[in-house]
């Protein structure tokens, strides 16, 4: 039986990405064209066609506005997980602000789904060496796991010295951190878990990396992407820096085709099933 990997989707709209914070104020969100509902339904159709179950880390802000989308995620047999309320990086919050944001989102998701929400993923992988207190808060709020640490060096996030695979960061507690997948080359971890890196690298490189993690290391991998990444027709933002424009819009037209290949080439399931997250 091939190694099972975890397929995950961070459910947020194009205008909610952290890189757009200097350009789009949160007060503008409701007035912008929303595309997250349509794009997430498209992803759900894709998963249904391929028989894949996934974990949807969903913003409370999105869930409030599209309860029918939450109902479909759950009714289709996927795992509903938490991405916070309105995509605020943990690095920008005090412990009390973080607790309030996450608790609000958790209540919304659980009320809409009728199911306990076990998992959390921070906006832009913004839990790292300087704010590990966030993991304690998550555990206190009743979460069973986090997938918020990316063990790479990056200009916006990352904790390169973190363990590369599932571990229990809180002493004498079963709460789990499940880092985004990397491969080890020399003395560095290289990202291979999805997002912009998946759009940048040739597909063959991502396939090789996942096979290496599965076959040579005997570990399950995590893949993540966003609904806006399969939407090359999304409204284009003006005045972006070159780096932000490059990272956000690169190869959006190729993403859906690559996802299709990935769904066929590997064995997928939800976070809670792959990593055996129990009540």
Tens digit of each residue's pLDDT (9 = 90 or more) over 114-132:
999 999 999 999 999 899 9
Which CATH number belongs to the domain containing residue 222 in this structure?
3.20.20.370
Give strand ranges (E) for the chain: 4-11, 55-58, 79-82, 119-120, 145-146, 176-177, 182-185, 188-191, 222-225, 267-269
Total domains, the chain = 1
Asked if residue 279 belongs to a domain, the reply is no
Asked if residue 153 belongs to a domain, the reply is yes
Query: Where residue 9 falls among pLDDT bands split at 50, 70, 90?
Result: very high
What is the pLDDT, as a whole number, of residue 114? 97
Query: What pTM did the predictor assign?
Result: 0.96
Parent domain of 223? 4-274
Share of the chain above pLDDT 70, in %: 97
Query: Where residue 159 falls among pLDDT bands split at 50, 70, 90?
Result: confident
Task: Say if residues 56 and 244 touch (Cβ distance below 8 Å).
Answer: no
What is the pLDDT, as a whole number, of residue 157? 64
State yes or no: pLDDT of 139 exceeds 90.
yes
DSSP for 206-263, please give it.
HHHHHHIIIIIS----EEEE-GGGG-TTSPPPSS--HHHHHHHHTTHHHHHHHHHHHH
**First CA to last CA across the chain, in angstroms?**
26
Asked if residue 19 belongs to a domain, the reply is yes
Strands 4-11 and 55-58: parallel
What is the pLDDT, as a whole number, of residue 154? 63
């Amino acid at each position: 039986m091939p190694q099972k990997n975890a397929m995950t989707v961070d459910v947020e709209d194009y205008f909610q990405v952290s890189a757009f914070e200097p350009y789009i104020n949160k007060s503008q969100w409701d007035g912008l064209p929303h595309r997250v509902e349509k794009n997430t339904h498209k992803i759900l159709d894709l998963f249904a066609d391929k028989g894949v179950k996934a974990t949807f880390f969903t913003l409370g802000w999105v869930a409030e506005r599209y309860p029918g989308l939450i109902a479909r995620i759950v009714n289709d047999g996927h795992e509903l997980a938490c991405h916070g309320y309105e995509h605020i990086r943990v690095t920008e919050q005090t412990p009390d602000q973080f607790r309030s944001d996450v608790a609000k989102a958790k209540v919304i998701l659980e009320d809409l789904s009728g199911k306990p929400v076990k998992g959390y993923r921070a906006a832009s992988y913004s839990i790292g060496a300087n704010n590990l207190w966030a993991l304690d808060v998550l555990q206190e709020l009743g979460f069973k796991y986090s997938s918020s640490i990316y063990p790479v060096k990056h200009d916006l996030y990352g904790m390169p010295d973190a363990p590369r695979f599932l571990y229990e960061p809180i002493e004498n507690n079963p709460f789990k951190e499940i880092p985004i997948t990397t491969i080890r080359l020399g003395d560095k971890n290289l990202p291979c878990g999805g997002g912009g890196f998946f759009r940048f690298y040739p597909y063959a490189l991502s396939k090789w990396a996942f096979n290496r993690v599965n076959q040579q290391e005997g570990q399950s991998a995590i893949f993540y992407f966003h609904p806006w990444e399969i939407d090359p027709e999304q409204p284009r933002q003006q005045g972006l820096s070159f780096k932000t424009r490059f990272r956000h819009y690169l190869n959006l037209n190729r993403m859906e085709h690559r996802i299709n290949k990935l769904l066929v080439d590997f064995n997928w399931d939800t976070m809670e099933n792959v990593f055996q997250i129990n009540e």
